[in-house]
Amino acid sequence: MFFYTCAYHEIGEKMNNYKTMNIKLLTIISFTMLVTQCSNKKESVTDDQQVRTTKGTNINKGDYSVNKDLSTIKWTGKEITTKSHYGTLDLKEGSVYVNNDGIISGNILVDMNSINCLDMLGRGKNRLEGHLRSDDFFDVNSYPEANLNFTSWMVNDLGKILYKGDLTIKNITHPITFSGSVKKNDIGYRSTINLSFDRTLYEIKFRSGKYFQDLGDKLILDNIDIEAEIVII
């Protein structure tokens, strides 16, 4: 009877140990599954949450003005061939505000009378600049200014700041998205902006394939590319 009792207790103890091991094993498995699910779970992110990622640019909160003398705007227009024209525009004025969340918002006013062509000289240069100022293109006598309002949205995987805003040309406004970067310099910050817009949205239809056929190599592409270096202080 003694041996039977001992054996019985020994078996019971082993069963208890076995149960304890099973409980521990189940706990470990459950924890592992929970961690895996959490790591694989993709949270839905609202625009407001994404905006706050621009805080990583480390720009101090406050109001800034655009230094028009140190800022540059370069434009590029292309034909259907490899031919292209490029030049500059002058900033008239601008302002930028950064809030507590690192959201960057601003406004840039461009002097459209300042259209300058850099790839041509002499009569050809004067003729092209005059044509771009005419009502075939930007009609600067009637619409001497273009305006860009913008607000930062998020920072992408490449570290570029993505902006959403409105571009106004010839008193016509359309939403636009574009990318840029911000770096601190000796006097403030330098922001690089890259954007492209469809000129036909602003009633600039001259030699556009959307409105004219059989243009051949005279066709002018609809997109105009802008690369700007904006210095804010």
Task: Tell which residue, 106, 40, 100, 110, has the closest CA to residue 75.
Answer: 110
> d(Cα 58, Cα 36) in Å, to the nearest integer?
33
List, for residues 209-225, the tens digit of each pLDDT value: 999 998 999 999 999 99
Half-sphere exposure of 210 (CA within 13 A, CB side): 11
List, for residues 120-172, the tens digit of each pLDDT value: 999 999 999 999 999 999 999 999 999 999 998 788 877 789 999 999 999 99
- Per-residue confidence band for 40, with pLDDT thresholds at 50, 70 and 90: very low
> d(Cα 98, Cα 158) in Å, to the nearest integer?
21
